[in-house]
Amino acid sequence: MSNFILEMKDVSYGYQDGGRKRMILKNCSYKFERGKFYTILGPSGSGKTTLLSMASALDVPEGGTIEYEGTELKKIGYSKYRRNHMAIIFQKYNLVDYLTGIENVEAGMMISGHRTKGDKKEIGYKILDAMGIVKTKADRRVTKLSGGEQQRVAIAKALAKDVDLILGDEPTGSLDTATSNEVIELFKLLANEYGKTIILVTHSDDVAEKSDVSLRLRDGQLMPF
């Protein structure tokens, strides 16, 4: 098996701007390795969210290809890829407000047809507990939790999906420094100890410093920071 989990090959993408096309990604190529924690920095408007939408198959490149474990996403099938191979965490809006923490996590497992045999609820509580969400909190409606706790539930939900690739669009952006640091340590552990590949867009130099590989999106391309 290749050591690369996700490979972007000459990916190009642009938006129509008035009468003309403005290219955001320009022959962007990069190979992401398994078991590494990556951060992507770049000024606002440089195309970070656009890049993640390609990597999560929410949108399709206009030029070039993206491969997961050596197979084009198109060939895997975009919805199958999203369902079975990756999870994405946004700054907000990852959770269903009227459900409890555990119900949110279970919903995440349901979508992916969780691979693990065993009681989903029990596994859900365990993952939440590992995220520092004890059972009494997991049983609360997520709107009754603090912002930091909600984001931990969102991460638990992504983890419960049991996939090897986790993408994040500024997932710690709304957290205080202490909570953000804890969450980042957790991502690091997941990458380095559990072989997950984590790719986080961030504008925090602190977060970037803690990652294994820090990249910059500039002029439509990914390059070493």
Ligand X SMILES: Nc1ncnc2c1ncn2[C@@H]1O[C@H](COP(=O)(O)OP(=O)(O)O)[C@@H](O)[C@H]1O
| Distances 95 to 15, 29, 34, 100, 130 between C-alpha atoms, Å | 29, 32, 27, 9, 18
Per-residue mark of binding to ligand X, 36-75 (x: CB under 6 A): ------x-xxxxxxx-------------------------
Among the listed residues 12, 27, 49, 181, the single contact to Mg ion using CB under 5 A? 49
| Distances 193 to 37, 72, 99, 213 between C-alpha atoms, Å | 11, 27, 31, 16
CA distance 165 to 179: 22
Q: At what angle do helices 120-130 and 147-160 cross, to 10 degrees?
A: 130
**22 vs 117, beta carbon nearer Mg ion:** 22
Supply 84's token pair.
Answer: 């079975």
Three-state SS for 211? Answer: coil
- CA-closest candidate to residue 174, choices 187, 165, 183, 161: 183
**185 vs 205, beta carbon nearer ligand X:** 205
Rounded to a whole number of angstroms, the minimum distance from the CB of residue 217 to ligand X is: 7
Rounded to a whole number of angstroms, the minimum distance from the CB of residue 130 to ligand X is: 30
Among the listed residues 2, 3, 15, 70, the single contact to ligand X using CB under 6 A? 15
By rule CB under 6 A, what count of residues binds ligand X? 10
**13 vs 187, beta carbon nearer ligand X:** 13
Dihedral Cα 159, 182, 53, 39, nearest 10 deg: -120
Q: Which residue is nearest to Mg ion (CB)?
A: 49
**57 vs 128, beta carbon nearer Mg ion:** 57
Supply 180's token pair.
Answer: 């953000």
**15 vs 98, beta carbon nearer ligand X:** 15
By rule CB under 5 A, what count of residues binds Mg ion? 2
Binding to ligand X by residue 168, rule CB under 6 A?
no
Q: Residue numbers of the site for ligand X (CB under 6 A)?
A: 15, 24, 42, 44-50
